[in-house]
Structure 1
Amino acid sequence: MEVCRGSMIQLLNFANAVTIGSRSPEWLFKILDVFETLRDLMPKFESMFSNQYCVVLRNEAITIWKRLGEAIRGIFMELENLIRRDPVKAAVPGGGFHPITRYVMNYLRATCRSCQTLEQVFDENVVPSKGVSPSLSSSLSVQMDWIMELLEGNLEAKSKIYKDPALSSVFMMNNGRYIVQKVKDSELGGLLGEDWIRKHNAKVQQCYSSY
């Protein structure tokens, strides 16, 4: 126990440094790696440092693990802010795909590769040593749905800068179809559900009719 104590403190100090780093969306995957590593090591920590004199050390590990979860949730908040702040500037030529649409959808598709870990992050009551529940609850679904709603609102604001109403419909139709396709081809589809897909397919059809 004494031999391993110093190494564990070094590991925890590193993990703690990660928690106070950047909240840029690009940092998500690095923080997820540290979060998952610390989570997977937690049962070994509890076994190795089971002595009553090591309670402080075990509690510190759990505290830092939870801070990593807070950092991940903070990154999702920054993603929301990024969508909100994306300016309504010049119209995309021909009503094509907007860069914010590509960025957000590809980003969310990439995050879904860590779907179970993210579900654990958004369920703050999960105990790390007990692992991840195999079934996804609604917390991550709600988060994804909210981000999609923000993206849709941002695109609707951008569609209004077209002087030609038909081109505005084309813009919403193209971006809407892109979003639905990305959802259907990834784990986002399972998170958002069939009702969400049907609803947004109907919106794309409505844009087509308006055009």
Structure 2
Amino acid sequence: MESLQQAIIFFETHPNYRSQTENMRITLDNGYDMLEKAYKSHLLKNSATVDPSYFLKHDMSPRVNDIKIMTEEDQVIKIGVWLLKQPRIPNNFLSYYSEIRGAQILKNIKNIAEAQKTLQVASRSKLSTVRKPIQRLDKNDILTDIESCFVMCSSLLILFELEEKLMVKAIPDTSKRAQVFRELVSRPLAYVVLQTQKVVNEKDVGIIPLLPLLHLLSQNYARFHNLATNSIGDVQFDSLMRQLQVKCSSYVNEVIENLNEDTTKYVPPDGNVHPTTASTLNFLSSLTAHRVTVTQHVLALTAPQGSNTNLLLPKLFARILSALGSMLKKKANIYDDPTLATIFLLNNYNYIAKTLADEQDGLLPAITEMNSNILSFYHEEIATCTNEYLKSWNGISSVLKSVERIGEDKQMARQIMSTFVREFDQVLAQQTDYCISDPKMSSNVQTAVKNRIEKNYFHLLDICQRLHVFPQGIKYTENAFEMAIRNLFSSAKIN
């Protein structure tokens, strides 16, 4: 080909060889066409379908170099570099590159997304053997869609990065390489953005599953924005970001509204932790794990101008905990048994305090930025609830106050013991289904009950045994009494 070019240049200066020169030009053009077809053939043959498993890992950085996007790139590079040096216009081979490589990236993205869905379905199907998942199928499908979007977005960046490395060798001309890349990214980028927009707009799953996606897109905002802006297609990445931020913001507001406007009548029959308490604290923990993303890309969206962004999350937590506290008090009023209502509040306040104090969740540092006394507040509430609960034992305490006046009076001893047994049985029967789910808290309250009545009861027991008031035996011996106290709050204990 190069010899032919030199011959054409030589014979162009000799008019007598015009026809031969024209034939040589036709031959040269045919040669160009054949080379470009060979280039296209090599592209099609060697464009690799990547292994999706490389992209289904959380940390891709150590494995990027293991991914092959071309099985054999030498011929593509060699032909392309040579063609770029030729004066011929247009360069059809560049269009082949953008079309074929763009289509391959799109194919790989779809394969990766499908592999992600298959992996998630297989993982969740294992749970179906021990659960009744019918009512959760729709939610699981939505979660799978969101996870698929995350994987597509992260994989797209990696595939584009690998493609750019290849293009530096295959298309060394900077301006032509930039134009080819603009064309190449258009279809796969538009597909990923459109699919993600569809999921964000149409699926309703709450903010937590969306946070990893929002974090990924915000961390790589400049990259995605530039890709979308420079692409030859109409890629609505900025619109996607706005929709995602607005949806996350609405979910945050929805949590507070649901707490404030909760009118459901359900309360745990044993006074245990309310499901809303657990879900709300999990919600706060998840926001803490994505604090920077939530602050900068969700809360700042609706914050008044000039707000201290560092306090946006602590202020939100304060509002949510306040709304949760109001909801719990309303729920407590649903109980017919005021003592059980107190146990309910005790369980919930204790759950909140323990979760806040858990260093792994990282909630306390965030909340104390706004309220340094928050943990003390809940400990005071727990103490108040404990004292309120102990009032349920006041009747028994009153009965036992007369023990000091028994002396040698068998009749009085018999009467006090009988009254005690009746009252004790009544309290135990009333509290049979009570539960304090935290073993440590349960033990503390049991000890408080024991300290309230044990001394006087054991004194009464000694008197009755000394006076032989109950020859047939006494129902609550020391062991039986202690066992009864230990069995308090054990209806559904959670370790």
Letter in 2 for 1:202: E
Question: Runs of 5+ in structure 1 lacking a partner?
Answer: 126-134
Name 2:491's counterpart in structure 1. none
For the pair 1:183 / 2:356, whether they are aligned, the reply is yes
User: TM-score, normalised on structure 2?
Assistant: 0.36
Is the CA contact (8 Å cut-off) linking 1:169 and 1:207 kept in structure 2?
yes
Of 225, 249, 261 in structure 2, the residue corresponding to residue 73 of structure 1 is 249
Is the CA contact (8 Å cut-off) linking 2:288 and 2:366 kept in structure 1?
no
Is the CA contact (8 Å cut-off) linking 1:38 and 1:65 kept in structure 2?
yes
Name 1:93's counterpart in structure 2. 269
Q: Distance in 2 between matches of 1:30 and 1:163?
A: 38
Q: Distance in 2 between matches of 1:49 and 1:22?
A: 24
Name 1:102's counterpart in structure 2. 278
Q: Distance in 2 between matches of 1:105 and 1:142?
A: 15
Is the CA contact (8 Å cut-off) linking 2:200 and 2:243 kept in structure 1?
yes
Name 2:385's counterpart in structure 1. 207
For the pair 1:163 / 2:339, whether they are aligned, the reply is no
Q: Distance in 2 between matches of 1:136 and 1:182?
A: 25
Q: 1:20 to 1:32 in 2, by over 3 A?
A: same
Is the CA contact (8 Å cut-off) linking 2:268 and 2:274 kept in structure 1?
yes
Is the CA contact (8 Å cut-off) linking 1:15 and 1:34 kept in structure 2?
no
Name 1:132's counterpart in structure 2. none
Name 2:455's counterpart in structure 1. none
Name 2:188's counterpart in structure 1. 7
Shift of 1:71: 1.0
CA RMSD of aligned residues (A): 2.9
Q: Secondary structure at the match of 1:95?
A: coil
For the pair 1:45 / 2:224, whether they are aligned, the reply is yes
Shift of 1:156: 0.4
Is the CA contact (8 Å cut-off) linking 2:225 and 2:237 kept in structure 1?
no
Work out which of the two has the higher radius of gyration on C-alpha atoms and give 1 or 2.
2
Is the CA contact (8 Å cut-off) linking 1:145 and 1:192 kept in structure 2?
yes
Identity over aligned residues, as a percent? Answer: 19
Q: Secondary structure at the match of 2:264?
A: coil
Q: Distance in 1 between matches of 2:273 and 2:301?
A: 36
Q: Distance in 2 between matches of 1:66 and 1:49?
A: 15
Q: Distance in 2 between matches of 1:176 and 1:66?
A: 37
Shift of 1:48: 4.6
Letter in 2 for 1:2: E
Q: Of the two structures, which has the highest relative contact order with CA contacts closer than 8 Å and spacing of 6 or more?
A: 1
For the pair 1:197 / 2:412, whether they are aligned, the reply is no
Question: Runs of 5+ in structure 2 lacking a partner?
Answer: 1-181, 303-307, 390-495
Letter in 2 for 1:187: G
**Structure 1 stretches of 4+ moved >6 Å:** none
Name 2:422's counterpart in structure 1. none
Within a 5 Å distance, the mapping from 1:23-42 to structure 2 comes to 23-25=204-206, 28-42=207-221
Letter in 2 for 1:119: T
Name 1:122's counterpart in structure 2. 299
For this pair of structures, how many residues does the alignment match? Answer: 197
Shift of 1:49: 5.9
Q: Distance in 2 between matches of 1:16 and 1:6?
A: 15
Q: 1:22 to 1:77 in 2, by over 3 A?
A: farther
For the pair 1:20 / 2:201, whether they are aligned, the reply is yes
Within a 5 Å distance, the mapping from 1:128-167 to structure 2 comes to 137-167=310-340
CA shift digits 1:79-123 (9 cap, x unpaired): 33443335123x433422222222222333234322221122211
Structure (1/2) with the larger helix percentage: 1
User: TM-score, normalised on structure 1?
Assistant: 0.78
